[in-house]
Structure 1
Amino acid sequence: MSDLPAADVAARPLAGRYALVSGATRGIGQATALALAEAGAHVIAVGRTSGALEELDDAITKAGSTATLVPLDVKDGAGIDRLGGALFERFGRLDIFVGNAGVLGPMTPLAQVEPKEWDDTVAVNLTANWRFIRSLDPLLRLSTAGRAVLVSSGAAHKARAFWGPYAVTKAAVEALARTWANEVANISALKVNLINPGPIRTRMRAKAFPSEDPETLPAPEELAQAILSLCLPSFGETGRLYDFPTRRLVDFRMPD
């Protein structure tokens, strides 16, 4: 895989490490949680659906790893705050954070977006990531190799008609990650990066492009291997965006 270190999963390079994945119950989040578990991590799986979390737990157990299940709506900011404290009490640190939870939001002209739809999209795609940063940054700084990966989208730069709430929030997520990366660049072992999945075989993609043949798209499991590589202690870059469609790293930090 270009620009990324290969993960020797058989060697379980994440053994003894703690990894939190938001939106872990399906699609990219589910595949990423399982990939991290297969690499040896104890996975803190955050998702809204208890049944789906239990199914993920079964898969993680079969992979020879363990999980902590956190049924949580990421719009619950106070719940995210409490989660950070609970993780410190139980584990004393966090090694990996994958900010994956997201919603497509309304596909409609900006002038016709309902305020609640706007607020919900911003809450899930943007504010939740900020709340996770606020809650988890101290724990990630306690790791010898803290890694944070936030999931962006090509929509952040295309400004495609009718994609307003989604595009705006993903552009803001990139600014959020850039800022965080610059804040920790010289003071900790924490590395902060972004990933652009591109077209992936997910429910969200099917909702946005209902006439598209999903079998022509990469599976979430393929993307999960790229996210795993960004989470490895051996990946020492920070302030980068990994563009999965082109398999290339892009430096997204701006000079002063």
Structure 2
Amino acid sequence: MTLEDRVALVTGGSHGIGKAVVARFLAEGARVAFCGRRESDLETAAAEFTRPGSEVLALAADVSRHADVARLVGAVLDRFGRIDVLVNNAGVYGPIGPAWENDSAEWQRTIEINLLGTFRVCHEVVPAMIRAKCGKIVNMSGGGAATPFPRFTAYAVSKAAVVRFTETLALELAPHNIQVNAVAPGFVATRLHQETLAAGERAGADYFKKTQEQVAQGAVDPAIPAALVAYLAADTGDRITGKFISAVWDRWAEFGEHLDEMTKTDVYTLRRIVPADRGMGWK
């Protein structure tokens, strides 16, 4: 597996999982552009990544603003001439607590960043990939996409929508040799979980306790989801598209042995469960 000479754009790449993805891509030989909202984080990350032989471009951008996204993608294309890999990682938890107590503006802001931000960057990047007749897109999903996530409603809704967007976009782009997948990174200790700890009881007693325990134990190494993203971005991901894959629970390193089954079935997708799926005889 290699990303030698590929050009990648990673949103939310200045810290956490995104930063681990940038590091992995650079280690695999890619030329990488990444963005973030905080200038200080961008400067720190850029300094860490800048080394002989590496090509890296750090840009300030807020994916909730279309003008920022247009400038971001334009700058990357001006610098590198193409974008082979797009990783939509930028995201926020949004309001924490019972849905009826959430601030509607914060709820909307969460959708703007997590869902519409993903759409906006794809909207700007996909035409260039279509012209190149190839490309890889990896959208970061998360908790609540596959199961309910009480007290994190805006986050859960946005991430579930990202998965359905991924599946649908994958079908639209299949004729253009562009693969689109979503990744569930697992419980990585990031700033989002610090927000859970700060929220206290509003996060729910069970999830608050789980977060405390996971953070104390070190949680999931961000290098693990970064490795899956690299797997999907490289040639190893050429036949994988429209899938929702867990970095922690799925044996993705063995996917090469099961590609025929994966491509012909709806495994690793979101689907409605009916009685027959559970061995029941009623409808």
Q: Give the TM-score, by structure 1 length.
A: 0.87
Task: Name the structure 1 match of 2:183.
Answer: 195
SS in 2 for 1:62: coil
The farther-off stretch of 194-203 and 53-62 is: 53-62
1:163-184 deviations in Å (ceiling 9; x for gaps): 1100000011111111110101
Q: Which has the higher contact order (CA 8 A, sep 6+)?
A: 1
Task: Name the structure 1 match of 2:116.
Answer: 127
1:131-170 deviations in Å (ceiling 9; x for gaps): 0111000122244641110011131122232111000000
Q: How many angstroms apart in 1 are the aligned matches of 2:137 and 2:17?
A: 16
Q: CA deviation at 1:69?
A: 1.3
Aligned 8 A contact 1:57 1:66 in 2: no
Q: 2:54 aligns with which of 49, 65, 89?
A: 65
Task: Name the structure 1 match of 2:246.
Answer: 243
Residue ranges of structure 1 left out of the alignment (5+ in a row): 1-6, 8-12
Task: Name the structure 1 match of 2:28.
Answer: 39
Task: Name the structure 2 match of 1:223.
Answer: 225
Q: CA deviation at 1:188?
A: 1.3
Aligned 8 A contact 1:99 1:151 in 2: yes
Alignment CA distance shift 1:253-1:146 (3 Å): farther
Aligned 8 A contact 1:34 1:59 in 2: no
SS in 2 for 1:158: coil
Residue pairs, 1:87-236, within 5 angstroms = 87-143=76-132, 145-185=134-174, 187-208=175-196, 209=208, 210-214=211-215, 215-236=217-238
SS in 2 for 1:40: coil
Q: CA deviation at 1:55?
A: 2.1
Q: How many angstroms apart in 2 are the aligned matches of 1:59 and 1:90?
A: 20
Aligned 8 A contact 2:7 2:31 in 1: yes
Structure with the bigger percentage of helix: 2
Tell me how large the CA RMSD over aligned residues is. 1.9
Q: CA deviation at 1:253?
A: 7.6
Q: How many angstroms apart in 2 are the aligned matches of 1:95 and 1:141?
A: 10
Aligned 8 A contact 1:159 1:167 in 2: yes
Q: How many angstroms apart in 1 are the aligned matches of 2:3 and 2:133?
A: 12
Runs of 4+ in 1 over 6 A off after TM superposition: none
SS in 2 for 1:136: helix
- Find out whether 1:50 has 2:39 as its counterpart: yes
SS in 1 for 2:212: coil
Q: CA deviation at 1:122?
A: 0.7
Q: How many angstroms apart in 2 are the aligned matches of 1:144 and 1:54?
A: 34
Residue ranges of structure 2 left out of the alignment (5+ in a row): 197-207, 253-266, 272-283
Q: How many angstroms apart in 2 are the aligned matches of 1:50 and 1:143?
A: 32
Q: How many angstroms apart in 2 are the aligned matches of 1:51 and 1:29?
A: 16
Q: Give the TM-score, by structure 2 length.
A: 0.79
Q: 1:79 aligns with which of 68, 76, 84?
A: 68
